[in-house]
Amino acid sequence: MCNYHFVWIPKYRRSILVGKVAEYTKEVLEEIAKELGCEIIALHVESDHIHLFVSCPPRYAPSYLANYFKGKSARKILQRFPELKSKANRGKLWTRSYFVATAGSVSSETIKRYIEEAKSRAD
């Protein structure tokens, strides 16, 4: 398995990932991970960005994983919360860009701790 830390943001870094939207986003990302045979090591949904630390089979390129998680989650979130379409540019919930790093240069435990600490600061 390969460990990846992904971070991505909504269009215009709008603070839309709150309340029921945030909870549903977590559910959707967990479903997608399961579908791909990935294990979520840490997940934190902030109002304006997402941290996803995931362990996935090496058959998936990081770019494929990022696009799959972002694409499928956007479709499901916009379907469940159509009012967000007005805040999404041309139906695009996420920006095109994302950050990804492997756990090679930093330990998996360090990345997990960073995400967990960010989660506790937000609560």
The pLDDT assigned to 106 comes to: 62
pLDDT (average), residues 9-36: 95
> Does residue 11 contact residue 93 with C-beta atoms inside 8 Å?
yes
Portion of the chain with pLDDT greater than 90, in percent = 67
Domains of the chain: 2-122 (3.30.70.1290)
Q: Which of 24, 60, 68, 114 is catalytic?
A: 114
Q: Which tens digits make up the pLDDT trace of 74-116?
A: 999 999 998 888 777 667 899 999 999 987 656 777 777 777 8
The reply to whether 12 belongs to the active site is no
Tokens of 108: 């998996």
Q: What are phi and psi of 117, to 5 degrees?
A: -65, -40
pLDDT (average), residues 54-82: 96
Question: Which position has the token pair 């609560």?
Answer: 123
Instruction: Report the SS3 class of residue 120.
Output: helix
Q: Which tens digits make up the pLDDT trace of 42-54?
A: 999 999 999 999 9
